[in-house]
Chains A and B, each alone.
Chain A
């Protein structure tokens, strides 16, 4: 039970320690015995919603926002969510001491550079959740960390204070101009990359944002590590619903599972324009005329 990576997830009963609002989002603090100790930046957890007799069968996946491996309650972790569906509305109503079934840590975490290079972290909305523990890990390696956070409006930005604490520079963007630069993160990104001479870009957010980030990073000669937000049913690699087309080392495109092969992918390997399709030439793709 202590092996990291693909074989390292556990299923535990956790307890709600606290719940707070952060702008339009909710932050839930949970005990999750054994998981905080194993979690690395970019890992996620899959949480059963609706209680023991729930009619909602599918677990909800959340990036781990923060972990504390020691404390009054032992190990705890925090997740961030928007209450925009039946499952997340149920989560938002949880109280202190309520029990919750958690599976994690899941997925492949962010790859960290071996050298103390310059890194830019880009996120949209609460996609920023995994970025702060990542920033801590990068800084511990001597990396420079600059952060770009964006959202449609100010109340949908998450982690501005965390970013101010950690980042060498923080750039904010909002679609409505309520705070920071008027526009999208991808409008602000090229200037940040040029100014910081970034070697690696880390990103988390919706697919169109990740596609644009990957392209901008490539134009600047930087590597990109993109954490996707793809719909999942199980989170553990058995249901095959969360696939997207990714090019392998051998040049062959395969439909890979976001949950176990991701959620972090190299930006230059995902066929962003063709997410939601089976691109021609994908391993096992239907040949024209059908099977």
Chain B
């Protein structure tokens, strides 16, 4: 059914069989050669990961959220390990948009990698100015608007927790961005109704959604008997949050099936990525797991291709949202789907029990 193609692994020089299926991903009008991207804040601007695999094979590098001015971030300790995850409180440390454009984006351009630039601001005006700076920059695949970083001093600044505030930011960015460049809104799961926020930003002009950002969390050090992070609270990420992320993607895709979603939250394997695709994500980002396995993005892409082929899909696109199909479908292609699904579910139950 599918033709096997021998390619070489990203490292250790092992030959890997990758099925020859169409892995082209579409985020609206944006065509990506691979459905696997990095996640903002988990890959800097791509340079460090390029030591471990060829970053030009990614769908795109989603860069760490950049602000208008240089920013020191929060004091240390900035992280704590949690079961199958971590809590971070970086606070958007970065060099500011000018240095980012001169050094980081320039490097990505020279390297030939596609870039989705993530921007963050403390006010609608800051987002407006960031978008204006990017308007005259060529070779940007898309802009991701981070309206959901939990590591800010004032929780009132988390635009993504308020539909009107989120819409206001997206309106401003969309208005100041070249028409051909997609604007993705990055949403927070820490809301009562994520569909309402998603609808508000889409109505405001977002071309797609990035889901999800971290969940606000906290760890207390039982030796010092104080919060483990200097910033007290932090963002929870990693495989621990994956079910929350899949739920968010599923709910939003059910409500707005035509809105492209870049899915993320704890993706560790190709099967994890497949969950997001089946829930409705058109492409996925690999984030925190990159800290554990720096070559994870290419491994996940390879595993996803194999998982799709095993289930009889001939393209990535045909699997997007497949979990939403009507009950009792005519088996589209082979009986392997059910068997694999049940096996994985059984594993998941055992794992959840062990961790819980």
Query: Residues on A close to B: CB < 8 A?
Result: 7-13, 48, 53-59, 101, 103, 230-231, 233-234, 236-244, 254-255, 260, 275-278, 282-286, 290-291
**Which 8 interchain pairs have the tightest Cβ spacing?**
A284-B70, A234-B291, A284-B72, A284-B71, A241-B79, A237-B48, A55-B84, A241-B78
Q: Which residue of B lies closest to A53 (CB)?
A: B351
A13-B12, A58-B291, A241-B90 given; name 10 further pairs at CB < 8 Å: A10-B51, A11-B293, A11-B295, A48-B293, A57-B288, A241-B78, A241-B88, A255-B72, A278-B74, A284-B71
Q: For the complex, is B270 an interface residue (Cβ under 8 Å from A)? A: no
Cα A7 to Cα B79 with chains together (Å) = 25
Cα A240 to Cα B76 with chains together (Å) = 10
Given A238-B290, A243-B93, A11:B52 Cβ within 8 A: yes
Q: Are B49 and A238 in contact (CB under 8 A)?
A: yes
Cα A284 to Cα B96 with chains together (Å) = 9
Residues of A within 8 Å of B83, CB to CB, are 55
Q: Are B294 and A282 in contact (CB under 8 A)?
A: no
Q: For the complex, is B58 an interface residue (Cβ under 8 Å from A)? A: no
Q: Are B48 and A260 in contact (CB under 8 A)?
A: yes
Checking A101, A237, A238, A254 against B293 with a beta-carbon cut-off of 8 angstroms, the contacting residue is A101
Q: Is the interface of B mostly helix, strand, loop or mixed?
A: loop
Cα A244 to Cα B74 with chains together (Å) = 11
Checking B72, B76, B351 against A285 with a beta-carbon cut-off of 8 angstroms, the contacting residue is B72
Checking B73, B86, B152 against A233 with a beta-carbon cut-off of 8 angstroms, the contacting residue is B86
Contact with A along B25-60 (1 / 0, CB 8 A): 000000000000000011110001111100000000
Q: Are B44 and A238 in contact (CB under 8 A)?
A: yes
Contact with A along B8-38 (1 / 0, CB 8 A): 0001100000000000000000000000000
B81 to chain A, nearest CB (A): 5
Q: For the complex, is B122 an interface residue (Cβ under 8 Å from A)? A: yes
Q: Are B294 and A234 in contact (CB under 8 A)?
A: yes
Residues of B within 8 Å of A58, CB to CB, are 79, 81, 86, 291-292
A43 to chain B, nearest CB (A): 14
Q: Are A277 and B42 in contact (CB under 8 A)?
A: no
Q: List 28 A-B contacts (CB under 8 A).
A: A7-B50, A11-B11, A12-B12, A48-B293, A58-B81, A58-B292, A59-B292, A103-B52, A236-B51, A237-B48, A238-B48, A239-B42, A240-B78, A240-B93, A241-B76, A241-B79, A241-B88, A241-B90, A243-B73, A243-B76, A243-B93, A244-B76, A255-B72, A276-B76, A278-B74, A284-B69, A284-B73, A291-B152
Contact with A along B282-314 (1 / 0, CB 8 A): 000000111111110000000000000000000
